[in-house]
Amino acid sequence: MKLPTLEQLEERIGYHFQDTYLLNCALTHSSWANEQKIHRYKDYERLEFLGDAVLEMISSAFLFHEYPDMREGELSKRRAVLVCEPSLAECARKLGIEQHIRLGRGAEADGGREKDSIVSDVMEALIGAMYLDSGSVQVVREFVMTHILADAGERHLFYDAKSILQEIVQKEQKAVRYEVLDESGPGHDRTYTVAVLIDGQMAGTGRGKSKKNAEQQAAFEAVRAIRDRQE
């Protein structure tokens, strides 16, 4: 199978690097950098540090203007949901970024390409590299708005669904619990099916590679159903 090129990645992200060294570094995990006898590229960790700060500034400004009456605590909570590890990893995978990560043999064998922690770090490193290469916050802002914040409301609902559902049932003085309906797949690649029950009645189901992700999907389905009934 022919691997995708960096030029194809640039097409997908909508930005072409003047200095491709920065792009290569953003895609290089420390395990790969440490295995190379010729240290051609540095790993992404410093770029990740920078990208995290740039992303926080852009997302903070977005939320500040989008929700003029929202208090600081709620703004911070919403920002944390939008730029959390699973959310950034999902955005990165939609762009196929994980296909380009350079991993050492051990990290590759350990499933590093599928780990949200690594994929989300690379997403932040890419933002840092883009900022350095363009010298423009506006350029990075366009990328972030298109690929991370475009569906902010829906993603906030998804990633905060469990706490939102908890608040709903507490107001109605009801109880919520999650129940595993099924587990499938080998030990290193399990898939879980989970139901969420409100006062013993099934309100939603979800599937995921972890119980937590399956519960999140089930809660999201339940919240959507409750809101649809209220409209």
**Looking at the DSSP assignment, which residues form a beta bridge with residue 205?**
195
Token pair for residue 18? 């003047």
pLDDT score recorded for residue 38 = 62
Class of domain 6-151: mainly alpha
State the pTM of this model. 0.77
Residue limits of CATH 1.10.1520.10 in the chain: 6-151
Token pair for residue 165? 């559902």
Catalytic sites, residue numbers? 52, 124
Dihedral angle computed from the Cα positions of residues 91, 92, 94 and 100, in that order, rounded to the nearest 10 degrees = 180
Query: Which residues does the chain have with pLDDT short of 50?
Result: 1
pLDDT score recorded for residue 1 = 44
Q: Where are the alpha helices (DSSP H) in 135-188?
A: 137-147, 152-159, 161-171
Residue limits of CATH 3.30.160.20 in the chain: 161-230
Give 161-230's CATH code, choosing from 3.30.160.20, 3.40.50.300, 3.30.70.360, 1.20.1730.10. 3.30.160.20
